[in-house]
């Protein structure tokens, strides 16, 4: 099932630069693994913001929470989740 | 280029039922034509709301506005637009 | 899976009183059928408001949307949905 | 009587990791004791957030405040309380 | 137990003047009866607004909801409820 | 004349514990002196929050500001003031 | 004592034009009488809005409410009141 | 001097279609006259909305209010005004 | 021309007390000089808040920005500006 | 294509003054280079705020994001983007 997730990253200004880079690299690696596994189905940057809009394809809300809460940037993100479902007018098979 | 569009439908309570049905049928037909043409790339229902989240693939903001303002339900919708761009961590070719 | 749903009823002031009573009776009947089926797991009134807080136990967001959009009062309600999952500290078996 | 409580945890970024772990362990222990006593009747995680939605069964608003203000994470939580009452359509005996 | 209640009256502009006057007179009579019974403990006008701030002394949230939902102006009011409890610094015996 | 005042306390997380205790003790002492003098007429805790709702009986807005700005916790509080006046339906002599 | 008052006029779109003109003329007459009496001390238009910002000099919040609630446009206005007091840095004698 | 103005058009749903067309034609004519005179310096559509963002070059706030309040669509628009001034980093002569 | 300005002071909690006092003294001196020059026409304290409401009489938005941005407390204030103009009902000559 | 961008600068209070000056100088240099290249088409200060309103002329949302995210002050700014398009009533050739 699909969930619409917005993530906004808010680093503290006094964060150690090296730690921030390592966190971002870890986040990218985990994000790409989840994309390859089909869990993180879409990932877009919101223009002008350190934020993304994503579509997750998971087995349950619990699955979604496990995935999101293990992201390396989770402690630094404001996350908003909305449940999606198939639209009666959609003709795209995978807009489930 | 991609735009993230949220549409929320607000029919007046005293609207003629037949007119509402005709508008909804016209909206569905135009929506499916735009999906077939590749302009309305994704279309999801937000669970529990008379609202959708959509991804449009258009040539410009002007193109997007032409498409949205010609929808039969346009006068009855609150629409919010956000410009998207490719995320550096995306591995999906069409998450442009 | 569980969803937290808030429903706020907003009748137009010029609504026909008889129609309003019939809608409320139909809503009550459908609500009680869904409670008996285990889909509408909890239902509470928010003190001082024509509104409720409910917990739904459904198979998917699509199932939730089907249930909510067929409620007789759906056209007159503002509905907000949040996905729940089991809390690591919970000891209640059915707080899934 | 029942109260609907939302708790959102906001740790300062420079918090000592050991202290945070100890606070979370203490919070879990107290939460489970209150659940066993029947005071903290339901406890759910909001998917994607370091936050919960809970139902408390207490003797009075004063009782509720005593319980909440003694939680180890109280100084780090935004808490919102709403009074619930039985819904005329409920068929669940303990949705008091 | 005490609850803090804000009520804001929103009459539709096309409301029949005679009906409005009758509703207001009924509201006043019921309000004064509830004040004499000790249930509606305080009642103040917010300066410049068709709105009041009140303190209710009731047996439970259910009792509060019964009282509020039977007010003649209930269908025309936005109502916000907050549960109060005794403050550790209060010296007033009846600021329970 | 009466004013409705909401005070929400926001201590910085790295505040010295001893200083916080001393400020709270001073606040309590001043609050109780003002209650004895009849200036701080009501004082209630909002359930679940480090916040209060109070009714002040002062000679003028200037008097109110003098009182509030000399509270020991003033630099750590968000304060919201609303002017009250007697409600035409009130039967309580001191709901002035 | 001084109060800062913002008034925003919201006429219903189907209002009778003649009635609207009569109400506006009555409002202007009462406003100018109150200005001559020194009660309505300042009156400014907010650029681009059917709204004003005003300073009232009254004896009490009750006096303010009497004045505002008798304005012919009162039923069509959103009104926000804030209590002012003399600023320690002011050198203007009548910025009381 | 320059002002940044956002205008959002909100027609009532039961508005006479012919009257709406006439108002829009009158609005366009007046808008183009003001553009030719140099008063309405920029005019852009916000993509997806019946709204515009405009830059006005006027002699004073009073001049701006006169212009805006005489627009045929003024009674149907929500208008927000912000005063602009030259930015120290600007190299465009007419970004005054 | 007149502008309505709200200023809210937000000192960081760990600010050096001596520096804060010096900034406040400098602010007061500059404020009084601007009042004597007729630029800062009115200055009121909002009751219960470390905030003021002011009326500035300046030559242009650029003049206003120069004045505000040179205030010693500018880096610690949230400032909101609204352009005013003469109200057709005003009888006060200097409510320009 | 044109985008409307609002940027609000929020420096942390404990920022090193020399670093802040260097960042501002770098920001100014890059801003002026982008203006000369025609990308940053308009740049205005919002009166009374450390904030600007800008119009960017870019090839795509991705181009816009590249430009904004490379600004030296990007980590210290809240940025809001809205897509613009030509207004049917505009007579200005470059209000594209």
Chains E and G touch each other (3 or more Cβ pairs < 8 A)? yes
**G with H: touching (≥3 Cβ pairs within 8 Å):** yes
Please judge whether J62 and A49 are an interchain contact, meaning their C-beta atoms are less than 8 angstroms apart.
Answer: no
Nearest residue in chain C measured CA to CA from B10: C75
Q: How confident is the model at residue B3 (pLDDT cuts 50, 70, 90)?
A: very high
Residues 49-78 in A contacting J (C-alpha not used; CB under 8 Å): 49-50
Q: What is the pLDDT of residue G14?
A: 85
What are chain G's domains? 2-83 (3.30.70.1060)
Q: Indicate the pairing of strand D77-86 with strand C40-46.
A: antiparallel
Model confidence at I38, in pLDDT bands (50, 70, 90)? Answer: very high
Q: Which residue has the tokens 């998450």?
A: B95
The Cα–Cα gap between A41 and J65 comes to 22
Beta carbons within 8 Å of J5's beta carbon, 6+ residues apart: A48, J53, J54, J55, J56, J64, J68, J79, J80, J81, J82
Residue E94 has pLDDT above 90, yes or no: no
**Alpha-helix runs per DSSP H in F1-96:** 17-36, 61-69
Percentage of chain C lying above the pLDDT 70 cut: 99
SS (H, E, C) chain J: CEEEEEEEECCCCCCCHHHHHHHHHHHHHHHHHHHHCCCEEEEEEECCCCEEEEEEECCCHHHHHHHHHCCCCHHHEEEEEEEEEECCCCCCCCCC
What average pLDDT score do residues D12-21 get? Answer: 91
Reported as a single tens digit per residue, the pLDDT across H21-40 is: 999 999 999 999 999 999 99
Chain G residue with minimal CA distance to F96?
G62
Task: Please report the pLDDT score of residue J43 as a whole number.
Answer: 97
Q: Which residue among H11, H47, H50 places its CB closest to the CB of B81?
A: H47
Backbone angles phi, psi at C2, to 5 degrees: -105, 140
pLDDT given for residue C42 in this prediction = 96
Note whether C87 contacts A: Cβ–Cβ < 8 A. Answer: no
Residues in chain D: 96
Task: Write the DSSP symbol of residue F53.
Answer: E
Query: Would you say how long chain H is, in residues?
Result: 96
Q: Which residue has the tokens 């002071």?
A: I9
Chain A: residue whose CA lies nearest to J68: A48
- pLDDT of D14 higher than 90: no
C75 phi/psi in degrees, rounded to 5: -65, -10
F75 is written with which tokens? 């630099």
Query: CB–CB of J48 and I80 under 8 A?
Result: yes
Question: Where residue A64 falls among pLDDT bands split at 50, 70, 90?
Answer: very high
Tokens found for residue D71: 């939680």
Residue H96: pLDDT band by 50, 70, 90 thresholds?
low
J78: number of Cβ within 10 Å = 11
- Digit-by-digit pLDDT tens for chain J (96 residues) are 999 999 999 999 889 999 999 999 999 999 999 999 999 999 999 999 999 999 999 999 999 999 999 999 999 999 999 999 999 999 988 776
Q: What ipTM is given for this predicted complex?
A: 0.95
Three-state SS sequence of A5-68: EEEEECCCCCCCHHHHHHHHHHHHHHHHHHHHCCCEEEEEEECCCCEEEEEEECCCHHHHHHHH
Tell me the CB-side half-sphere exposure of residue H78, using CA atoms within 13 A.
6
Q: Do J75 and A11 touch (CB under 8 A)?
A: yes
The string of pLDDT tens digits covering residues B9-18 is 999 988 999 9
Q: Is there contact between D and F if contact means ≥3 C-beta pairs under 8 Å?
A: yes
Cα I39 from Cα I57, distance rounded (Å): 5
How many Cα atoms within 13 Å fall on the side-chain side of residue A32? 11
Task: Name which residue leads in pLDDT, E92 or D9.
Answer: D9
Q: Can you tell me the distance from the alpha carbon of G8 to that of G51, in angstroms, rounded to the nearest whole number?
A: 4
Q: Name the nearest CA neighbour of F91 among G60, E43, E74.
A: E43
Cα-Cα end-to-end distance for chain B? 7
Structure tokens at F91: 């039967």
CB H13 to CB B75 under 8 A?
Answer: yes
CA distance C83 to C89: 18
From the list C1, C65, C83, the residue facing A81 with the nearest CB is C83
Read off the pLDDT of residues E56-70 as tens digits, 9 standing for 90 and up: 999 999 999 999 999
Backbone angles phi, psi at A21, to 5 degrees: -65, -40
Cα I11–Cα I15–Cα I16 angle in degrees, nearest 5: 135
Number of inter-chain CB pairs under 8 A, G vs H: 25
CB contact under 8 A, A11 and J81: no
In whole angstroms, give the CA distance from residue G38 to residue J41: 50
| D27-83 pLDDT tens trace | 999 999 999 999 999 999 999 999 999 999 999 999 999 999 999 999 999 999 999
Is the minimum CB–CB distance between A2 and chain D shorter than 8 Å?
no
* Rounded mean pLDDT, G83-89: 95
Partners of F42 on chain E (C-beta within 8 Å) are 42, 92, 95
| pLDDT tens profile F47-94 | 999 999 999 999 999 999 999 999 999 999 999 999 999 999 999 887
Check: CB of residue A75 under 8 Å from CB of residue A11: no
Average pLDDT over chain C reads 95
Tell me whether strands I77-86 and I2-9 are parallel, antiparallel or unpaired: antiparallel
The DSSP string of chain I is -EEEEEEEE---TT--HHHHHHHHHHHHHHHHHHHHTTSEEEEEEETTSSEEEEEEE-SSHHHHHHHHHTSTTGGGEEEEEEEEEE-TT---TT--
The residue behind tokens 């809503």 is: C27
Tell me: the pLDDT tens digits for F9-47?
A: 999 988 999 999 999 999 999 999 999 999 999 999 999
What is the per-residue burial (b if ≥16 Cβ within 10 Å, else e) of C25-54? eebeebbeebbeeeebbbbbbbbbbbbbbb
Nearest CA in chain J to H85: J45
């Amino acid at each position: 099932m699909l969930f619409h997730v917005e993530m906004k990253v808010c680093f503290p200004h006094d964060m150690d630069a090296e730690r921030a880079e390592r966190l971002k690299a870890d986040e990218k690696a985990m994000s790409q693994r989840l994309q390859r596994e089909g869990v993180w189905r879409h990932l877009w940057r919101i223009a002008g913001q350190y934020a993304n809009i994503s579509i997750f394809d998971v087995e349950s809300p619990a699955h979604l929470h496990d995935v999101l809460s293990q992201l390396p940037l989770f402690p630094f993100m404001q996350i908003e989740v909305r449940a999606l479902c198939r639209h009666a007018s959609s003709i795209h098979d995978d807009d489930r």
